[in-house]
Amino acid sequence: GDDQPAVDPDAETETAYGNCWMCHHACGQELTVRDGTAVDINGVDEHPRGSAGPGTEGTLCPKGQAELEKLYDPDRITQPYIREDGELREADWDEAFEYTARRLEEFADEHGPEQLLDATSWSTTNVHEYFWGNLYGTPESIGRGRHVCFGGPHLSGNLMGLGANMRFVDYQHSDYIIAWGRNIFESFAGQWEPKGVLEALENGATLVVVDPQHTPTAQKADHWLPIEPRTDGALALAMGHVIIEEELYDEAFVEEQTHGFDAYQEAVADKTPEWAEDITGIDAELIREIATDFAEAAPAAGIALWTGVGQYAEAQKASQNVFALNGLVGNIDRPGGFRMWQGPPLQMNPFEERGIDLPNNAEGRQPALQLSPEYEDYPFRHTTGIGHTVVPEMVDNGHIMGMVNHYDNPLTDGSTQAWLEAIETMDLVITIDAYWNELTRNADVVFPEAIQLEKDTLINYAPTWSAYHDRRWISASKAVHEPLGDCKSGYEIYKGLAEELGWGEYFPWESEAEYNEDMLANIDYTFEEVAEQNFVLLEEFEYEQWEENGFPTATGQFQFDLDEEGGYAESADELGIDTAPEWIPPGTWGDEPDDEYPLHFYDTRSVFFSFGADQPLEHLHEQYARKHGLEGEDYRGNYLVMNPRDAEPRGIETGDMVTVETAAGEGDEPAMAYVSERTQPGFVTAEFGFGTGNSHEEGMNTMWVHDTQHDPVSSQVDRHLAAEIRPAGGD
Amino acid sequence: MFYFDPNRCIGCHACSVACKQRHDRDADADDWRTVSHLSRGEYPDFEEVPISMSCMHCHDAPCEQVCPPDAIIKRDEDGIVTVDRDRCIGCHYCAWACPFGAPTYDDEGLMSKCNLCLGEGPGGGHGQPERQTPEDGGPTPACVDDCVGEAIKAGPQSEVMAEATEKAAERFEQGAYGKRVIVEPLEEDADLADAIREGDEPAGAITYEG
C-alpha cells in the first residue's frame, strides 16, 4: 500500500519470518524484505499451523496477509501516552514508566493490589503473569476462553476430561467429521483446520454441519442440519439415545475409562429422535442416520465444536451433552477422532530457570467474587474466579478499581454500556495496544507494543494442535526490522516498569529473545535455531494416552456425570440442574424471542476479522464489503444479515441502514442490512468487533444491546439476544 | 493457464489480498483477482459457491484482438498477456471483449490486470524476459502461492492438465470455457451454477457482478 517506505526495486531481497498474531494462532509467515522494507508476505511450507502437514504448502488467510499492512499502518499508536490534567498526552518512555509506577504505588496504597483486574489476554510472553500476580499481587485475572469466547465448552471440556482444547479433531485421519456450530472454513484456529478437512473430504470422509446459518462449511457438507437456535443439547441427547439403543457404543471404553454412564443412560432414555425433531427442527430419521453413521465410523469420527455451542446461556449443558458422545463412541485420542494434543516441554517459569527467588505477593489475597456476599447469586463463582458481565457491578461495589489490558478490549465482549461506565469509574486503567479505541482513549496510560513481526517472538501460547497429529512442535521468529515509531516489545515494557518500581533485580533478561531462550531450557534448540527455520518438529506422542495417564479429572476417568467435581456440583445445586447431561431448553437463562423482540440476534465471525483488533486494516474491510457485493457503498462497517422473509415485512432491503433494538435499548449506531437466504428466518446476525468502543468505529457494536445475559454455570457472556430490527432511515 | 477447483475454494479472498499486496496496490483499487459468491435457492434449500477469477491469459486473447493501439500483447514465449501502459489509451475496448471482466482501470484511466506475477505492479509484466518456472527461480503467482484451499493452480497447459481430474480434463478438451481455463466440476449435487458444473456455457455467464 501507500504507507510502506519507498524501496529501491533493484535491491537484493532477503527472507524473514513471522508467526501470525492476528488471530494468535501462529501460522508461519515468510516475508520478502527488500531494502530493509517488507514488501511481500506468504505462508511457510509444512508449517504445523499454516499447512496441511508434511509435503504441503503453507499459505496465509486474509488476516495473516494483512499483518503486512499493519506493519506500516500510520494509524497505529507508536508512542506512549499518559493522562495529565485529565488529558492524554504523548510522553517518552522514561516519563511513562515513572508516571505509571507512581500511579500503581498510589493505587496499591489506596485500594490494595487485589482491586486491580489483570485483563492481559494476548501478550506474546507470559511475563505479565509474574509481573501482575507475583510482584504487584493482584489475584484477579480475566481471560478470553472461559469468559467471553466459549465458556461453556471450556468448562465442560475441562471437567469431563477433554481439556480446554476440546475443539479439534484429528482431521486427516477422520472418516466422519461433525462441525457442530462450527464454520471451519471461515473461522479457524490456524489454517491447518480447513486444510485438514479438505484432505479428509478428498479421502472420502463425511462432513456434517450443524448450524442455523448456511456457511461455506455447510456448502461443502454431506449433511447440513439447519438446527433451531440453541437446541444442540437436544440433538446430542437424541443421538446418544440412538447409539445406546442400537448398541453401537464402545462398551470396553465406557466400562473401563468412564464415570457416570448410568446417569447418562438415564438422561437419554426418553430422548428419542422424534422428541428431538420437535425441538430442533431436524427430521427424526436424519437424526437416526447421523447418529448411526457417526457411531459406526468411530473411533475415526470426531466432533469439532467451539463458539457456536459456546456463546449462549445454556451452552455449558449443551456442550456437555455433545461431548458425552465422544465418551460413548470411544473416539477419544484415537486416530481420526478427538485428539489429546501435547505441547512442547517449555520451561514456563524462566525466573526459576535463572534461580530468581520470585515472591508471591498475591498470596492470601482472594478474588472479591468469592469473598463478598454481594455475589452469592452468581453460581459461576464456584467454577471460575470472575465473569465478564459481573465486572461493572464489582466496580460499582468498589471491589475492582483498576485494570490492565494487553491487546484486549472488553468493550467488544458484552455489557458494553456498563463496561464503558466502569472504565470511567476506575481509578487507573493501563493499556498495551496498537490502535485507538474507546478503551485506549479512556485509559490513564497507553503503552504502544511492537507487533509480532517487529520483535523476536516465541510462540508459547498453546502450541499444541496442528497438522502434525503425533508430533510436538515449536515456532519462533526474529524481528523483520525495528519497531514502528517508539514501540517496544511487551517484555521490554514490563522490564522498564519493573525497574521503576524497584523490581529490576527480577528482570535480568535484556530482551524478549533472552527471556524466550530460558523458556526453551528443556528443548534441544536455541531461540536462534528455531527462528532461523521458523518452526521445528519435536518428539512424537502416542494415541490413547489415557491408557497410561488416565484423564485429568476428579475420578481420573472421562466423566459423563460431573457429580465428583466439587465446584460444579455446588453451582448445579444452586441452579437446580443435574450434574449429568440434561436438556435445558433455550430461554431457561438467556433471552427467548417474544412479540416485542421476535428475532434471534447473534454475533458472528468472518474470515476477515478475529478479536476486534484488526478491523482497521483496509484490505480486510474492503474484501469484507466485496464478499457481500457492497463495495460500491461508502459504508465499511459490519452487515446485519437477515432473511428476506424477515426483511420484506419490515421494508428492509440490502444496502439499507438498520437499527437493532433489544430489551437493553437501541443499538449504538445503525448497520447496513444484507438480506440473504443464507440465514434462517427469525435469525439475524452481525460480525462482532465494530462500532462504538472498537478500533474500527464504523458500523454497530453487537454488544451495545447486550445487558448482563450470561451462562450462570460458566460465566460465559450470552451473545444471543432477542431483538427487533428497524429501518434507520437514509441509506 | 489457470486451473480452479470450486470444491477446494473456501471463499476467503486470500487470493485477492495476496494479489493486491504482491503488486503493491491500494486496498480500494479494483481487484485483478476477484472472488464472487454465486447463490441460489430459499432457506434451507440454499447454496452459495465461491468463484475466484482473474485474467485467464487466453490462447486467443480477445482483448489483444480489439486493442486499437496494440498495447496488449499475447506473448509467444510464455503465453502471458501483458499491457504496455505507455501505449494504452484507456478506451475500455478490452473490457468489452474480455469474457471474464478482467481489465481494471485506475485513476489514470489506464488498463491494468493480472500479469501472472511476471512483474510487479500495473504494467509490470510488459517487456519482461520469458517467465521461468518456479523450479528455475521464477515467481509463483501470489494467488496460487496463498490459496488456503489450494484451489488455484497456474502453469503451462500440459502441467496444469496433469493436476486436473479426468472429468475436468475431458470437459476442457470438449471446449468448456472456450478452453481458456480448466475448472473442476462441483462434486456435490448442487443445483447451482450449471455453467460451472457442466462447463458448456460460455464462461462469460460468470460475471464479476455481486
State whether A97 and A60 are in the same domain: no
Asked if A399 and A372 touch (Cβ cutoff 8 Å), the reply is yes
Q: What is the DSSP letter of A621?
A: H
Domain assignment present for A185:
yes
pLDDT at residue A300, as a whole number: 98
For residues A500 and A614, give the distance between their C-alpha atoms in angstroms, rounded to a whole number: 32
> Is residue A176 located within the same domain as residue A311?
yes
Write out the residue range of the structural domain in which residue A205 sits.
151-341+546-575
| pLDDT for residue A730 | 54
**Distance between CA A185 and CA B48 in Å, rounded?**
13
* Residue at A62 is within a domain: yes
Q: Please identify, among A74, A105, A129, the residue that sits at the C-terminal boundary of a domain.
A: A74
What values do phi and psi take at A483, rounded to 5?
-65, 155
Whether residue A90 is contained in a domain is answered as: yes
Tell me what percent of the residues of chain A surpass a pLDDT of 90. 92
- Look up the CATH number of the domain holding residue A24: 2.20.25.90
A159 and A58 share one domain? no
Residue type, A497: L
A435-489 pLDDT per residue, tens: 999 999 999 999 999 999 999 999 887 679 999 999 999 999 999 999 999 999 9
Task: Write down the pLDDT at residue B198.
Answer: 45
Residue with cell 442490512: A673
Q: What mean pLDDT is predicted for residues A300-306?
A: 97
Residues A313, A401: one domain? Answer: no
Judgement on whether residues A162 and A290 belong to the same structural domain of the protein: yes
Residue A342 pLDDT level (bands cut at 50, 70, 90):
very high
Shortest alpha-carbon distance between residue B65 and chain A (Å): 31
Nearest residue to A675 via CA among A698, A645, A703: A645
Answer yes or no: do A330 and A248 share one domain: yes
Q: Verify whether the Cβ–Cβ distance A678 to B20 is below 8 Å.
A: no
- A680–B contact, CB cutoff 8 A: yes
Report whether A491 contacts A128 (CB < 8 A). no
Q: Is A607 on the interface with B (CB under 8 A)?
A: yes
Q: Tell me the shortest Cα–Cα distance from B64 to chain A, in angstroms.
A: 28
Number of domains within chain A: 4
Q: Is A159 found in the same domain as A135?
A: no
More confident: A165 or A69: A69
* A528 assigned to some structural domain: no
Give the distance from residue A626's alpha carbon to the nearest chain B alpha carbon, in angstroms: 8
Asked if residue A500 is part of any domain, the answer here is no
Co-location of A201 and A271 in the same domain = yes
Confirm or reject contact between A186 and chain B (CB < 8 A).
yes
The answer to whether the CB atoms of A194 and B31 lie below 8 A apart is no
Question: Cis omega (within 30 of 0) on the bond before A153?
Answer: no
Dihedral sign, Cα of residue A702, residue A703, residue A707, residue A709: positive
CA A570 – CA A576 distance, rounded (Å): 10
Question: Which residues, 6 or more positions from A382, have their beta carbon under 8 angstroms from its beta carbon?
Answer: A566, A567, A568, A570, A571, A574
Find the CATH number of the domain harbouring A642. Answer: 2.40.40.20
- Please, what are the domains in chain B? 2-205 (3.30.70.20)
Better pLDDT: A140 or A728: A728
Q: Show residues of chain A in contact with B124, CB under 8 Å.
A: none
Whether B107 has its CB under 8 Å from any CB of chain A: the answer is: no
Tell me which amino acid residue A332 is.
I
Question: A2: pLDDT confidence band, cut at 50, 70 and 90?
Answer: low
> Per residue in A119-169, pLDDT tens?
988 888 999 999 999 999 998 888 888 888 999 999 999 999 999 888 899
What local confidence, expressed as pLDDT, does residue B188 receive? 55
CATH of residue A570's domain is 3.40.228.10
Say whether both A268 and A364 belong to one domain: no
A194 & A327 share domain: yes
Which ranges of chain B have pLDDT less than 50?
189-210
Are the beta carbons of B49 and A219 separated by less than 8 Å?
yes
Which residues in chain B are contacts of A626 at CB distance < 8 A? 13, 16, 31, 34-35
Of B16, B22, B28, nearest to A40 by CB-CB distance is B22
- Contacts with B16 from chain A: Cβ below 8 Å: 623, 626
Report A:68-87 residues touching B (Cβ under 8 A): 68-69
Put simply, the answer to whether B11 touches A216 (Cβ < 8 Å) is yes
> Do the domain assignments include residue A530?
no
User: Quick one: cell of A718?
Assistant: 450470552
Mean residue pLDDT of chain A comes to 95
User: Is residue A484 assigned to a domain?
Assistant: no
**Least confident segment among A34-38, A369-373, B129-133, B199-203:** B199-203
| A178 and A249 part of one domain | yes
A583-632 pLDDT, tens per residue?
Answer: 999 999 999 999 999 999 999 999 999 876 678 899 999 999 999 999 99
Helix (H, G, I), strand (E, B) or coil at A93: helix
Residue A297 domain-assigned?
yes
| A694, A607: one domain | yes
